[in-house]
Structure 1
Amino acid sequence: MTKDTKLPEKWQQEKKALKAVQVAFDLGAEIQLQIRREAVDRGINPSDRVRQILGLPVHRKPQRLRLSISLTEEDFLFLADKFNLDPGNKVEIKHLAAELLVEHVSKPQTE
């Protein structure tokens, strides 16, 4: 694309995002936990809560909060064995793992 060609609006926004710098704050565990709790209570992610606290604008639409983890092949093997599934059936492993999380929250907690 030449300089004379105007970028579509969506691309202009992405170009701005590329110029952003990620900043990590090394804070104590209690401070991090409090900010995370505040974010959950407000239905936003912790990064947006930090932006609010700092007085920075938050432009994102509210998003669906979700839990995520990284699973290695060994993790999939473990879960496949736990759920008595083929290790290659990652969709069903994920589904049963989600059901286990829901079940966990539904039970009275002893830990």
Structure 2
Amino acid sequence: MAKKPDWSKEEQAVQAVQLAFDLSNDIQRAFRVSAALQDMTTADMVRKVLQLPYRKNRARPRLTITLRDEDFEVLAKKYGLDPNDRAAIRQRVAGELQAFARHYLTESDQ
């Protein structure tokens, strides 16, 4: 007889309630900067301040961006690539973001 799948985590996620707070830009920036300096997500920083359990390290540290078809066309033109070669575009975007971060970090050291 097949074992019934464990849905307890999914059930807990469905029961969770997401809260949004309208706070000033300065307060939001303070949380984002503090979280970034501690390699945490902003949500985990809020949980830490509220003394709730939180992840000590990011599960998957990554930057995200949503790109439309038009964005791929602009980027392909910028990099001299085929707009349909999204893997190559993604690779070039990652390189550009890394270059920005390296420049930013060395600039702030001065």
- Please give the TM-score of this superposition, normalised by the length of structure 2: 0.82
1:12–1:61 Cα change, 3 Å: farther
SS of residue matched to 1:92: helix
Q: Which residue of 2 aligns with 1:50?
A: 46
Q: Distance in 1 between matches of 2:14 and 2:62?
A: 25
Q: Distance in 2 between matches of 1:105 and 1:55?
A: 32
C-alpha deviation, 1:89, in angstroms: 0.6
Q: Which residue of 1 aligns with 2:96?
A: 100
- Alpha carbon RMSD of aligned pairs, Å? 2.0
The reply to whether residue 63 of structure 1 matches residue 40 of structure 2 is no
1:67–1:33 Cα change, 3 Å: same
- Please give the TM-score of this superposition, normalised by the length of structure 1: 0.82
Bigger shift: residues 99-108 or 28-37:
99-108
Deviations 1:45-97 (A, max 9, x none): 00011111112222576323211111111101000100111111111101101
Q: Which residue of 2 aligns with 1:81?
A: 77
C-alpha deviation, 1:32, in angstroms: 0.7
Structure 1 unaligned blocks of 5 or more: none
Percent of pairs with identical residues: 37
Query: How many pairs were matched up?
Result: 103
Preserved CA contact (<8 Å) 2:40 2:57? no
What is the one-letter code of the residue matched to 1:78? V
Deviations 1:1-41 (A, max 9, x none): xxxx9652xx2011111111111111111111110111111
Preserved CA contact (<8 Å) 1:44 1:63? no
Bigger shift: residues 53-62 or 34-43:
53-62
Bigger shift: residues 14-23 or 62-71:
62-71
